[in-house]
Structure 1
Amino acid sequence: MIVRNLAEAEQSNRRIVSPDGNWESTRMLLKDDNMGFSFHITTIYQGADFRMHYKNHLESVYCMSGEGEVETLADGKKYPISPGTLYILDKHDEHILRAFSEMKMACVFNPPLNGKEVHNAEGAYELVAEEISD
């Protein structure tokens, strides 16, 4: 059994802050946990407005607090995000995420992240990245 506490993880090397200043993510479950997915609690800072395109991963995102929107670039559709909203990037959707207020999100990635990933120039995570060691 694996047991982790969010407050403790936020004070460890599991907390990753984006170099662009848009988000921070506490990686609660990672590839080396051998569950087949990773699980993160991510904070999107108020005013963030950035493009992502997870070419190598599928992601599900559940909004726990805050408000914003996600826009799919293929069709220009905008979807409001508020507590209780789940959006699923099931087709490696290129998208823009906008935070009207600070948003707290629970995120699941498949394949799982190693731990230290941040977005590359295309808004994706690389498949091979440095691992977090506890």
Structure 2
Amino acid sequence: MIVRQLQQAEQTNRRIVSPDGNWESTRMLLKDDSMGFSFHITTIYAGADFHMHYQNHLESVYCMSGEGEVETLDDGKKYPITPGTLYILDKHDRHILRAFKEMKMACVFNPPLNGKEVHNAEGAYELNADSVEA
């Protein structure tokens, strides 16, 4: 069994802050845990507005607090994000995430992240990022 506390994980190298200042993510479960997915608690800072395109991963995102929207770029649809909303990027959707108020999100990635990933120029995570040592 694996048991981790968010407050403790936030004090380790499992907490990653984006270079662009849009978000921070505490990677609670990673590839090295051998579960087949990774699980993250991510904070999207108020005012964040950034493009993402997870070409190598599928992601499900559950909003626990805050307010924003996700816009799918292929069709221009906008979806409000409020507490209780789950959005699923099941087709490697190109999208923009906007935070009107700081959002706290629970995120699941498949395949699992190694731990040090940040978005590349296309808004994706690379498959071969280095692992985090916990």
TM-score normalised by structure 2 residue count: 1.00
Residue 61 of structure 1 and its aligned partner are, at CA, apart by: 0.1
Q: Which residue of 2 aligns with 1:118?
A: 118
Q: Which residue of 1 aligns with 2:2?
A: 2
Residue 118 of structure 1 and its aligned partner are, at CA, apart by: 0.1
Q: How many residues align?
A: 134
The code of the aligned residue for 1:89 comes to L
CA distance in 1, matches of 2:19, 2:118: 8
CA distance in 1, matches of 2:5, 2:130: 22
Q: Which residue of 2 aligns with 1:21?
A: 21
For the aligned residue pairs, the C-alpha RMSD in angstroms reads 0.2
CA distance in 2, matches of 1:88, 1:24: 20
The percent identity for this pair of structures is: 87
Q: Residue 40 of structure 2: SS of its match in structure 1? A: strand
Residue 34 of structure 1 and its aligned partner are, at CA, apart by: 0.1
The code of the aligned residue for 1:73 comes to L
The code of the aligned residue for 1:16 comes to I
Q: Which residue of 2 aligns with 1:84?
A: 84
Long gaps (5+) in structure 2: none
List, as ranges, runs of 4+ consecutive aligned residues in structure 1 with deviation greater than 6 Å. Answer: none
Task: Give a deviation string over 1:74-96, Cα, whole Å, max 9, x none.
Answer: 00000000000000000000000
CA distance in 1, matches of 2:32, 2:12: 17
Mapping for residues 1-134 of structure 1, pairs under 5 Å? 1-134=1-134
CA distance in 2, matches of 1:59, 1:118: 15
Q: Residue 66 of structure 1: SS of its match in structure 2? A: strand
Residue 133 of structure 1 and its aligned partner are, at CA, apart by: 0.6
Q: Residue 7 of structure 1: SS of its match in structure 2? A: helix
Long gaps (5+) in structure 1: none
TM-score normalised by structure 1 residue count: 1.00
CA distance in 2, matches of 1:33, 1:81: 30
